[in-house]
Structure 1
């Protein structure tokens, strides 16, 4: 079991490390979009797509970079008491609190999957059966959801990115849970 835990931690950390390192360059994408917006507003005709595209890029940057942030321990914490605790006490507290985060992420993931199904034109209450029906050919895509802005982009791509990011965050939280268990057992990670 311990070997499985070490392998899971190694694989998930490696995936989230690579995704996070790529996602961190998203800030330059956001800056480029906003620069185009500023130049166009100042010298040319203002563009319709730049502000909303910058928002989409920011969502992708934040959601895909979150697991990397958790992995590095650079997420926001209340260090008033936590910073002075021993590694063992931190592991116990983290072990208890990570279950709340995992529950929250599971609810968030279900909501993201439901919202993505809705953006594909599914009006029912079973989003998982909708996606399995898309794969098997028993369901078909309906009227796709679009933004209400003047640009009117489809919303499913950013919602799909949110599913990926939330799923990676869930995997990283389970990795952190396993790290805490191994710390409490006195093993090296």
Structure 2
């Protein structure tokens, strides 16, 4: 494989690994928000912002942790036939099936960019009592989808290398 492909795979996987490791801690942020929500409901007036902020934290957790999860192979796979195949045959099937994921992520990214541009242009806000701006979480979603797309291409290059008998 050319050097630029090796560099691409190494850089994408290093970035996704680091971002994913940081994103793991967003779960603790969400737990803190929900704990505050419980305490404020029990002892003072309920906070307006806690439910939505917990939802935003969960979206960030999933979107930024998704490429890391994909990288680790934590995704669900139907193993009925796949498990018994050789590594080379798995690479062939993965190299073709990754195009479905790339297409899906491409369409998702297109929609996310359009929605984020709309949100930024019109200063879109949530229709709840707290009324936070929606653009920041949409930007996080665009970044997460883009990172997932980059990881899908890295998988494609790994599969091509495996078919050729090389390791990346």
* TM-score > 0.5, shorter chain as reference: yes
Q: Quick check: 77-86 or 26-35, which moved more? A: 77-86
- The aligned counterpart of 2:139 is 160
Matched ranges for 1:7-86 at <5 A:
7-86=7-86
Cα distance in 2, alignment partners of residues 88 and 160 from structure 1: 38
Matched ranges for 1:142-181 at <5 A:
143-181=122-160
* TM-fit CA distance, 1:89: 1.3
Q: Quick check: 88-97 or 76-85, which moved more? A: 76-85
Do the aligned partners of 2:158 and 2:167 also contact (CA within 8 Å) in 1?
Answer: no
Unmatched tracts of structure 2, length 5 or more: none
Per-residue CA deviation, residues 77-104 of structure 1 (Å, 9 max, x unaligned), is 1122222221111111111110011011
Unmatched tracts of structure 1, length 5 or more: 122-142
Do the aligned partners of 2:12 and 2:150 also contact (CA within 8 Å) in 1?
Answer: yes
- What is the TM-score with the length of structure 2 in the denominator? 0.97
> What is the alpha-carbon root mean square deviation over aligned residues?
1.0
Cα distance in 1, alignment partners of residues 118 and 3 from structure 2: 41
Cα distance in 2, alignment partners of residues 86 and 30 from structure 1: 42
- The aligned counterpart of 1:131 is none
Find runs of 4+ consecutive structure 1 residues off by over 2 angstroms.
none
Cα distance in 2, alignment partners of residues 81 and 59 from structure 1: 33
Count of paired positions: 168
* TM-fit CA distance, 1:7: 1.0
